[in-house]
Amino acid sequence: MKFSSILYPRTQDRPSSEVPNAPQYFRDLNLDQIIAAMTAGRAEYELSPFFYAPLTNRDTIRYRQDVMRDLENPLLLEAILSFAHTMRTMREYLVQSQKLTYHYQKAVWFVDAVELYCHAVLDLMNSLAEVEYVSPGLVSFTNYLVEYIHSDRFLALETEAREIKDALGTVQYRLHIHGQQIDVHPYWDDIDYSSEVAEIFAKFKQGPVKQYRIKFTDGPNMNHVEAGILDFVAKLYPEVFAYLDSFFITRVDYLDKTIAIFDREIQFYIAVLDYREFFKQAGLPFCYPEVSTNKEIFANDAFDAALAYQRIADHATIVRNDFYLKDPERIFVVSGPNQGGKTTFARMFGQLHYLASLGCPVPGTGARLFLFDRLFTHFEKEETLNNRNGKLQDDLIRMHEILQESTPHSVVILNEIFTSTTWQDALFLSNKVMASLCGSDLLAVWVTFIDELASFNEKTVSLVSSVVPDNPAVRTYKILRRPPDGLSFALSIAEKYRMTYHWLKERIL
């Protein structure tokens, strides 16, 4: 396999351009929070576009999963991290070279950057030779790396950089400072009287004395005096500095494009694995899902990653849920009391499918998920002055767009739609939408207060958010596969907070 990318097995699999903005459903599913946590501290790599582009090819998803599994090897990951660290230092040197004022200093920083690059590539090859990995992506990259390192281009680059550093190491000179004049001369050995002077005056030493040493700045910038001295030194060693000049000019494009792409793309995997490690430390599982066009899906011990990420810091218990669909089932209808975890379940369902479409591991101990072509969400939005439509009209417009654009290969997630109208109208409209969804044979989750939808036909499955049997005011946040019970538990909540008729009467009296 000819290597093109560690994210895409073939050149034609890569999008023609990167997606600059997050999909519209990101905020509804809290995927924006997940991706922000993954990419935190990695702004230099601009990883977000990789997370904005879900895959529709199972081979590419498996390609990424295989690379991810290999990187779970600590030795391999350490080698990649060391390579990334050296490449980051190289870029810092290049930036510093561009910031400097004086020509020869800029050139030397450039040579140092090239030397770091050569070390990074060679060290990575040596490290990869000592660890095991089987993913086609990393195997293909290693083959490319070996071929590149033995190419005339790299060999010449590494040789020239080393020769220039060696030549600069031979540069020696003398300074004769008299008044405001500085003379630069070729170096010759001279007697060092410092030790003799220190020995003669040691017997007169009576205690700590005031130090008159001047501490030179250790910053990268030269002053005009140092730059002037360096110009004279260059005249003493014309061949060395001519070599330096030529290298600085002709090697400006030394960085191999494929190596640079790998350095950026491999951070996608590191970001995901670091994110997963955060949950692993808290005892929460992630797994590699099977992803296919089979609509018989399932997930075990799954959870909302965005919510769990926030609650782990508070040492709160994370509730995990299971779900499955078997033919001809297609649509989960989630009902039950408010604040019972229904919306969290819907978000979790969307998160699992989206992360799986990126080739990432997903929260849970096992999963088989659907490879969707498009994902749609309809969550309640705050009304704005700029929107002249009423809430019901806005719901209908958005729902119409979803029904028009979705296909049998889509995933749709609806959360409490048609809440602004009467129950009879909401039931009428919901039945029309449900008929259309069932007719499309797509996968969906619908959080609703209309229990009747759960038994619409053989494609709908009822899920109910549960409560503690002895105390209905307490939510378990477990979503169970059972018929709706038609209870909102509003009375139990009112009783808990002493807001029933009885308590209000007592308080007034």
Q: Helices then strands (H, E): number in the chain?
A: 17, 14
| In a shared domain, residues 160 and 265 | yes
The answer to whether residue 35 is domain-embedded is no
| Range of weakest confidence among 37-41, 303-307, 474-478, 486-490 | 486-490
| In a shared domain, residues 497 and 361 | yes
Q: Residue 346's domain is classified under what CATH number?
A: 3.40.50.300
The answer to whether residue 456 is domain-embedded is yes
| In a shared domain, residues 429 and 451 | yes
The answer to whether residue 34 is domain-embedded is no
Rounded Cα distance, 143 and 457, in Å = 55
Condensed to tens digits (0 to 9), the pLDDT of residues 124-134 reads 999 999 999 99
Adjacent-strand bridge partners of 236:
none
Among residues of the chain, what percentage have pLDDT more than 90?
70
| In a shared domain, residues 264 and 395 | no
Which residue in 460, 500, 499, 464 sits closest to 480, CA to CA? Answer: 464
| In a shared domain, residues 250 and 227 | yes
Range of the domain at 145: 1-6+19-26+41-273
| In a shared domain, residues 291 and 386 | yes
Answer with the one of 273, 308, 333 that is the final residue of a domain: 273
Answer with the one of 224, 250, 273 that is the final residue of a domain: 273
| Token duo for residue 283 | 């005892």
CB-facing half-sphere around the CA of 269: CA atoms within 13 A: 27
Region 409-437 average pLDDT: 92
Residue 413 φ/ψ, nearest 5 degrees: -125, 115
Condensed to tens digits (0 to 9), the pLDDT of residues 239-261 reads 999 999 999 999 999 999 999 99
Which run of H or of E encompasses 201? helix 194-201
Average pLDDT, the chain: 91
Q: Is 166 helix (H, G, I), strand (E, B) or coil?
A: helix
> Where are the alpha helices (H) located in 10-135, listed in sequence order?
31-39, 48-51, 58-70, 74-99, 103-128
CA distances to 253, 378, 397, 490 from 404, in Å: 49, 14, 11, 37
Rounded Cα distance, 479 and 323, in Å = 9
The answer to whether residue 119 is domain-embedded is yes
Region 132-139 average pLDDT: 96
Region 336-360 average pLDDT: 94
Higher local confidence (pLDDT), 11 or 26: 26
Provide the pLDDT for residue 157: 97
Region 312-321 average pLDDT: 90
| In a shared domain, residues 250 and 353 | no
Condensed to tens digits (0 to 9), the pLDDT of residues 158-199 reads 999 999 999 999 999 998 888 889 998 988 877 777 888 888
The answer to whether residue 12 is domain-embedded is no
Q: What total number of domains does the chain contain?
A: 2
| In a shared domain, residues 231 and 329 | no
| Token duo for residue 509 | 């009296």
Provide the pLDDT for residue 197: 83
Adjacent-strand bridge partners of 368:
290, 298
pLDDT-derived band at 382 (thresholds 50, 70, 90) equals: low
Listed as own residue / partner, the contacts of 325-328 with beta carbons closer than 8 Å and 24 or more positions apart are 325/295, 325/296, 325/297, 325/298, 325/443, 325/461, 326/296, 327/295, 327/296, 328/458, 328/459
Listed in sequence order, the residues at least 6 apart from 255 whose beta carbon sits closer than 8 Å to its beta carbon are 117
Query: Is the pLDDT confidence value at 383 over 70?
Result: no
| In a shared domain, residues 113 and 253 | yes
| In a shared domain, residues 305 and 198 | no
Provide the pLDDT for residue 385: 47
The answer to whether residue 389 is domain-embedded is yes
| Range of weakest confidence among 210-219, 397-406, 440-449 | 210-219
Listed as own residue / partner, the contacts of 56-62 with beta carbons closer than 8 Å and 24 or more positions apart are 56/357, 56/371, 56/373, 57/13, 58/291, 58/292, 58/371, 59/9, 60/8, 60/9, 60/13, 60/359, 61/291, 61/356, 61/357, 61/358, 61/359, 61/371, 62/359
Q: Is 250 helix (H, G, I), strand (E, B) or coil?
A: helix
The answer to whether residue 31 is domain-embedded is no
The answer to whether residue 14 is domain-embedded is no
Which range, 178-187, 265-274, 315-324, has the best average confidence (pLDDT)? 265-274
CB contact at 8 A, 453 and 444: no
Which residue in 409, 398, 331 sits closest to 375, CA to CA? Answer: 409
DSSP code, position 12: G
